[in-house]
Amino acid sequence: MFNLFAFVSYVFVSCMTPGPNNLMCMANGTKYGFKKSLKFCFGVATGFVLVLLCAIGCNVFLYRYIPNILRVMTPLGALYILWLAWVIWRDKPKEKKGKGMRLDTTAFHAGVILQFVNPKGLLYGMTLITNFVFPYRRSVGVFAAVLAFNWLVVLFSNICWLLFGSVFQRFFERYKKPLNAVMALLLVYCAVSLFI
């Protein structure tokens, strides 16, 4: 049976937690201001929907040609969600390595392109579609609703990070442990709900 609370929790926790796009939105808001950086937020949300469309296509193929894939994908999805909970709970900062290619981080196309090299987004898309959508509903209407809901949540998340810029960063630093604990527990709930 479809668990709406687990689905919504997974979407919000995954989209609102710090990731490459949210942090880039925050940095853009601080550096370039809201108006100039807004195009990037729309690009991220649009690119994210394109990633989800790819995940739907991949799942259609897998379910059509390998019908027993759910037995494998559900435990893998649960393990991935538990791993995310562990990462959020631990909250170790990543080391920065060298300087890479420069990209206009305020452009719409930059937001779209970056979704296809964002491991968090790619894994999120496969986990969401495989574990929260495909076992229960496979209609075009449901896919459209999931895509629209995710587009709105990603856009909302990006705009929050953009608006608050350094203020949001200070808030997370100040209340890091309790916020991470709540988000990690919600993700554990999501992983467990896949088997109930």
Tens digit of each residue's pLDDT (9 = 90 or more) over 14-70 = 888 877 788 778 777 877 778 888 999 999 999 999 999 998 898 888 777 777 766
| Residue 152 included in any domain | yes
Amino acid at position 70, single letter: L
**Residue 33 pLDDT:** 79
| Residue 134 included in any domain | yes
Q: Rounded to 5 degrees, what are φ and ψ at 60?
A: -60, -45
What angle do the packed helices 176-193 and 4-16 form, to 10 degrees? 140
**CA–CA separation, 111 vs 52, rounded Å?**
15
- Count helices and strands (H / E) in the chain: 8, 0
Secondary structure percentages of the chain, helix, strand, coil, to 5: 80, 0, 20
Higher pLDDT pick, 153 / 172: 153
Over pLDDT 70: what percentage of the chain? Answer: 84
Task: Match 């709406």 to its residue by tokens.
Answer: 4
In contact, 16 and 172? CB cutoff 8 Å? no
| Residue 10 included in any domain | no
Q: Dig out the tokens for 168 from the structure.
A: 């949001």
| Residue 7 included in any domain | no
In contact, 127 and 7? CB cutoff 8 Å? no
**Residue 39 pLDDT:** 93
Predicted TM-score (pTM) above 0.75: no
**Residue 27 pLDDT:** 75
DSSP structure string for 126-151: HHHIIIIITTT---HHHHHHHHHHHH
| Residue 100 included in any domain | no
**Residue 98 pLDDT:** 52
**Is the four-CA dihedral 17, 49, 145, 80 of positive or negative sign?**
negative
| Residue 157 included in any domain | yes
**Is the four-CA dihedral 176, 181, 184, 189 of positive or negative sign?**
negative
**Residue 79 pLDDT:** 82
Higher pLDDT pick, 23 / 157: 157
- For residue 171, give its domain range: 20-90+105-193
| Residue 6 included in any domain | no
Q: Rounded to 5 degrees, what are φ and ψ at 116?
A: -85, 0
What angle do the packed helices 20-32 and 34-65 form, to 10 degrees? 170
How many domains would you assign to the chain? Answer: 1
| Residue 178 included in any domain | yes
Q: Is the pLDDT of residue 95 over 80?
A: no
Assign 86 a pLDDT band (cuts: 50, 70, 90): confident
